């Protein structure tokens, strides 16, 4: 597992692409500059790792496109030491970006194969989320709540109530919402008080579906 000057050069180019596409949060751009995305992909994709594209990561899942990762991360308004819950650990790339931004990351994955491989990979790369969990992200992580922000990295048919309940007042939930097979609308929910949420519907994205546990 190597990270070379060539990879760093490709990451700098990717950051320029993200800036051109409208990403302005310096903490996000610095994290993209730092995290070796090629090490989160099967080596056969290594040459393409710094293109702004999604790729398969096994178990029928994908690593999100860098623009999508950056866009969602920017919407979270992560501050150092924020407690952030991620639903859909997948390859761990988004987890690594949040960690590089100084967040205390909690992440849930429902595919055992991906949960296992990513749990091994992250510490090897020096990435230490607070907690990786195997289970159904629809339920969130009530034992670790409340969170400063929550990011869902799969397309959900609706906004799960437990996730809203696990958000601090002032906290932000970023979740792509839409029917399966159609593009999703990025939703940003900001918790105003115990009972009220402000909702923003942003651009269209394409995600793999957030699946309910059938166990
Ligand atoms: N953040 C990931 C994106 C992976 S794709 C990355 O950067 O690579 C979405 C992930 O959500 C997949 O790994 C999928 O298995 C997972 N997922 C789908 N439904 C889920 C659920 N109900 N709970 C937790 N994870 C789920």
Q: Where are the domains of the chain?
A: 5-205
Q: Per residue in 55-82, pLDDT tens?
A: 998 888 899 999 999 999 999 999 999 9
Task: Tell how far the Cα of 45 is from the centroid of ligand 1, in angstroms.
Answer: 20
Mean pLDDT, the chain, rounded, equals: 95
Q: Per residue in 8-58, pLDDT tens?
A: 999 999 999 999 999 999 999 999 999 999 999 988 888 899 999 999 988
- Look at ligand 1, atom 14, and give the residue with the nearest C-alpha: 88
Class of domain 5-205 as given by CATH:
alpha beta
Cβ of 153 closer than 6 Å to ligand 1, yes or no, is yes
Cβ of 154 closer than 6 Å to ligand 1, yes or no, is yes
Confidence of residue 212 (pLDDT cuts 50, 70, 90): confident
Q: Which residues of 133-159 are buried (b: 16+ CB within 10 A; e: fewer)?
A: beebbbbbbeeebbbbbbbbbbbbeee
User: How many other C-beta atoms are found inside a 10 Å radius of the C-beta of residue 184?
Assistant: 23
Which pLDDT value is given to residue 214?
54
pLDDT at 128 over 60: yes
73 is catalytic: no
Instruction: Record the pTM.
Output: 0.96
Atom of ligand 1 nearest to the CA of 69: 7
The single residue of 44, 64, 112, 149 carrying the catalytic annotation is: 64
């Amino acid at each position: 597992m190597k990270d070379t000057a060539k990879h760093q050069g490709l990451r700098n180019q990717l950051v320029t692409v993200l800036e051109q596409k409208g990403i302005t949060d310096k903490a996000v751009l610095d994290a993209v500059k730092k995290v070796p995305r090629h090490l989160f992909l099967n080596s056969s994709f290594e040459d393409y790792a710094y293109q702004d594209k999604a790729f398969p990561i096994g178990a029928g899942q994908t690593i999100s496109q860098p623009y999508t990762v950056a866009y969602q991360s920017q919407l979270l308004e992560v501050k150092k030491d924020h407690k952030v819950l991620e639903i859909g650990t997948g390859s761990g790339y988004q987890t690594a970006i949040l960690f590089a931004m100084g967040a205390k990351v909690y992440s849930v994955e429902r595919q055992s194969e991906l949960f296992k491989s990513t749990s091994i990979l992250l510490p090897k790369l020096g990435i230490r989320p607070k907690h990786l969990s195997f289970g159904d992200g629809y339920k969130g992580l009530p034992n670790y709540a409340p969170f400063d922000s929550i990011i869902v990295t799969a397309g959900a048919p609706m906004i799960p109530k437990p996730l809203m309940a696990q958000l601090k007042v002032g906290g932000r939930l970023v979740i792509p919402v839409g029917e399966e097979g159609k593009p999703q609308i990025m939703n940003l929910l900001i918790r105003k008080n115990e009972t009220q949420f402000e909702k923003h519907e942003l651009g269209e994205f394409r995600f793999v579906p957030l699946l309910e546990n059938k166990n």
